[in-house]
Homo-oligomer: A and B are copies of this chain.
Amino acid sequence: MFGVYSDGTLDPSYAAYNGLLALQHRGQESCGIAVNDKGVISYYKDMGLVTEVFSHEILDRLRGQMSVGHVRYSTAGASVRENAQPLVMRYIKGTLAIAHNGNLTNAFELHQLLAKQGSIFQTTIDTEVFAYMIARERVEAPSIEEAVHRAVKKVHGSYSMVMMSPQKLIGVRDVHGFRPLCIGKINNSYVFASETCALDACGAEFVRDVLPGEIVVADENGLRSIRDEVTEKKSLCVFEYIYFARTDSVIDGISVYEARKKAGRLLARQNPVDADIVIGVPESGIDAAIGYSEESGIPYQKGIVKNSYIGRTFIKPSQSERETSVRIKLNSLHTAVKGKRVVMLDDSIVRGTTSARIVSMLKEAGAKEVHLRISSPPFLWPCYYGTDIPSKDDLIACQHSIEEIGKMSFADSIDFLKLENLPKMLDVSGIGCSGICDACFSGKYPAEIPNYLVAQKNYDYCTPIKRL
Which residues of A does B touch, CB under 8 Å? 18, 21-22, 24-25, 28, 39-44, 49-51, 58, 61-62, 87-92, 94-96, 115-124, 128, 131-132, 135-139, 166, 197, 200-201, 246-248, 250, 255, 257-258, 283, 286-287, 290, 293-294, 299-302, 305, 307-310, 328, 331-336, 462-468
Chain B residues with Cβ under 8 A from A200's Cβ? 331-332
Known contacts A39-B463, A290-B301; 19 additional CB pairs below 8 A are: A21-B307, A22-B328, A22-B331, A41-B465, A43-B468, A44-B467, A50-B309, A51-B309, A58-B468, A62-B468, A118-B132, A119-B132, A119-B135, A120-B132, A120-B135, A197-B305, A250-B335, A283-B308, A294-B299
Chain B residues with Cβ under 8 A from A301's Cβ? 290
Residue from the list B248, B305, B308 in contact with A308, Cβ < 8 A: B308
Given contacts A116-B139, A248-B331, A309-B49, contact A122 B294 (CB under 8 A): no
* B307 and A465 contacting across the interface, CB-CB below 8 Å: no
Residue from the list B40, B308, B335, B468 in contact with A466, Cβ < 8 A: B40
Chain B residues with Cβ under 8 A from A62's Cβ? 468
* A333 and B119 contacting across the interface, CB-CB below 8 Å: no
A223 to B314, CA, bound (A): 42
CB distance from A164 to the nearest CB of B (A): 12
* A42 and B466 contacting across the interface, CB-CB below 8 Å: yes
- Please tell me how many copies of the chain the complex holds: 4
Residue from the list B40, B43, B123, B310 in contact with A51, Cβ < 8 A: B310
* B335 and A255 contacting across the interface, CB-CB below 8 Å: yes
Interface of A is mostly: mixed
A247 to B302, CA, bound (A): 9
CB distance from A393 to the nearest CB of B (A): 24
A11 to B90, CA, bound (A): 38
Given contacts A62-B468, A122-B122, contact A24 B302 (CB under 8 A): no
Given contacts A200-B331, A307-B22, contact A91 B117 (CB under 8 A): no
CB distance from A312 to the nearest CB of B (A): 8
**Closest Cβ neighbor of A138 among chain B residues:** B118
A332 to B257, CA, bound (A): 12
Residue from the list B22, B122, B309 in contact with A21, Cβ < 8 A: B309
Given contacts A43-B467, A302-B257, A465-B95, contact A21 B310 (CB under 8 A): yes
A87 to B468, CA, bound (A): 14
* B286 and A302 contacting across the interface, CB-CB below 8 Å: yes
Q: Could you list some 28 contacts between A and B, CB below 8 A? A: A18-B328, A21-B309, A24-B309, A25-B308, A25-B309, A41-B464, A41-B465, A41-B466, A42-B466, A42-B468, A51-B309, A89-B120, A89-B465, A90-B115, A90-B121, A90-B124, A91-B118, A95-B463, A118-B138, A119-B132, A119-B135, A120-B131, A120-B132, A200-B332, A248-B333, A290-B300, A290-B301, A308-B308
A42 to B305, CA, bound (A): 33
Chain B residues with Cβ under 8 A from A136's Cβ? 117-118
A25 to B124, CA, bound (A): 33
* B331 and A201 contacting across the interface, CB-CB below 8 Å: yes
**Closest Cβ neighbor of A196 among chain B residues:** B334
CB distance from A154 to the nearest CB of B (A): 12
Given contacts A87-B122, A118-B92, A248-B305, contact A257 B43 (CB under 8 A): no
**Closest Cβ neighbor of A465 among chain B residues:** B41
A418 to B412, CA, bound (A): 43
